């Protein structure tokens, strides 16, 4: 399961978005860990939502790029807002 291409691509994208988000808004190393964890959860929620709603806007294999990215960023923004 953890070696599947969907998991690897999704976790790589969520890690990339978390790193960019930390560069823009983060202050401490702990923020990076928080954003990474929340980004993974957000991307997974976006993936699941797109699968349930059968949205096929921009797919790379079975990875929903738009839905996963939007949910990832929204989750990290909410985490940043709640952390303040």
* 12-21 confidence digits (pLDDT tens): 999 999 999 9
3-state class (DSSP) for residue 80: helix
Tell me the pTM. 0.89
Confidence of residue 2 (pLDDT cuts 50, 70, 90): low
Q: Each residue of 73-84: pLDDT tens digit?
A: 999 999 999 986
Distance of alpha carbon 18 from alpha carbon 64, whole angstroms: 17
Question: Domain range for residue 58?
Answer: 5-83
What is the number of domains present in the chain? 1
């Amino acid at each position: 399961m953890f070696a599947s291409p969907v998991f690897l691509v999704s976790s790589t994208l969520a890690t990339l978005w978390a790193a960019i988000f930390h560069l823009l808004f983060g202050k401490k190393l702990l923020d990076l860990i928080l954003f990474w964890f929340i980004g993974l959860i957000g991307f997974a929620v976006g993936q699941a939502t797109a699968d349930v709603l059968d949205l096929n806007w921009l797919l790379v294999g079975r990875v929903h790029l738009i839905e996963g990215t939007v949910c990832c960023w929204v989750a990290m923004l909410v985490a940043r807002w709640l952390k303040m």
